[in-house]
Structure formats: C-alpha cells, structure tokens
Amino acid sequence: MRVSIRRCYYADMKILMRLFTYLHVLIAVLFACASVLIVAIAARTGWNAVAMGLDSAAAQLIIEAIGLIAVAAVALQIAQTIVEEEVIREVNVSAPTRVRRYLSRFLVVIVVALAIKGLVATFTVLDDDPSQALYAASILISLSFLLVGWGVFIRLNRFAEELEPEAMKQAKREDQKLA
C-alpha cells in the first residue's frame, strides 16, 4: 500500500516538475519577446532623434534609446538565465554555490541597467529640470547600496561554500552541460 502511494506521489511530482519547466520556458520566451519589442522601440526612438536633426533634443532621445536598449539587454539576459538554470541544467537552487551564482547572474544585469538608468536620469535632469536631481541621485545611491549588499552576500556565501566543497564540484559538473 505504501509503495503504491509513493509511486503515485513521485509520478505526480514528476508531472508537476515538467509543468514548472514548461512555465519557465514560457516565461523566458516572454522575456525574450519583450526584449525584442523594447529594441524596436529604442530603434524607433533613435531614428526619430536622427530625423529631428542633431541637436540637444536629439541627444536626449538618443540617451533615452540607450536606456531602452539596456532594459532590453536585461530582459534578454534574464531569459537566458532562466533557460540555462531552470530548463537546461534543471538545478535545485539550494547549495550556497548555486545560490550565489544564480543571484549574481541576475544582479549583474540589474546593476548595469540601474547604472545606465541613473546616468540617463542624470543627463536628462541636468538638461531639463535640475530640481529633479534628487531623483537621479536616489537611483545611483540605491545602486551603491545594492552593490554593497551584493558584496556582503558574496563574502558570507563564500564562507558557506567552504563548508560544502562537494556543492562546488556539483555546480561545475552542471556547468559542463552547457559546454
């Protein structure tokens, strides 16, 4: 009796895990589609800037297009991370090594996007409305806190990794699936 219950449980869990894989694929595809649409919007914005003539208003539009491209890159990188981590590797994000690497992949793209957004906001504010400088500064200050927090997380996580050397070996074996 117990054996048949366990078999049903494991069969149900396999179906559920397969469903999660399909949902991750769908989410990754949606991120990739959003990225393509944002690139198209950025291209149109850049084209409109060139059509306006090369003046300070066009420069603002080009800076806005750069910000959009950065957001598109973030969306595409998130799609790639989801596919690699959840679909190809099918990893369980529980070991300290895997957690650090998984979060770091997301944080790299978020930090870059926030840095670009902060710079775009700074240039925009300086040209249009200097009274909004606090907004641009708050983005860059928040980014610095994020970087410090990320650094502390990595440092503390490295200590945890030293306690589980087998987890690092397992993560390296999983990486070979992508090579």
Percentage of the chain with pLDDT > 90? Answer: 23
Virtual torsion, Cα 171, 90, 108, 128, nearest 10 deg: 180
H helix or E strand, kind and range, residue 144: helix 133-163
In contact, 134 and 152? CB cutoff 8 Å: no
Q: Residue 146: pLDDT above 70?
A: yes
Reading the block at residue 106, the tokens are 């997301």
Reading the block at residue 48, the tokens are 């409109």
With a threshold of 0.75, does the pTM exceed it?
no
Q: Looking at the structure, do residues 18 and 101 belong to the same domain, yes or no?
A: no
Task: Give the C-alpha separation, 21 to 13, whole Å.
Answer: 12
Q: Residue 41: pLDDT above 90?
A: yes
Question: Out of 10-14, 39-43, 142-146, 163-167, which region has the weakest mean confidence (pLDDT)?
Answer: 163-167
Q: Looking at the structure, do residues 64 and 103 belong to the same domain, yes or no?
A: no
**156 — pLDDT class (breaks 50, 70, 90):** confident
How does the average pLDDT of the chain come out, rounded? 81
pLDDT digits (tens, 9 = 90+) for 100-132: 777 787 788 788 878 888 887 887 787 778 888
Q: Looking at the structure, do residues 179 and 98 belong to the same domain, yes or no?
A: yes
Domain count for the chain: 2
Q: Looking at the structure, do residues 32 and 115 belong to the same domain, yes or no?
A: no
**Listed residue (9, 83, 73) closest to 35, CA to CA:** 73
What pLDDT is stored for residue 165 in this prediction? Answer: 66
DSSP 8-state symbol, 132: G
User: In terms of residue numbers, what domain contains 113?
Assistant: 91-179
Q: Residue 88: pLDDT above 90?
A: no
In contact, 100 and 154? CB cutoff 8 Å: yes
What pLDDT is stored for residue 28 in this prediction? Answer: 94
In contact, 66 and 124? CB cutoff 8 Å: no
Virtual torsion, Cα 141, 146, 150, 152, nearest 10 deg: 60
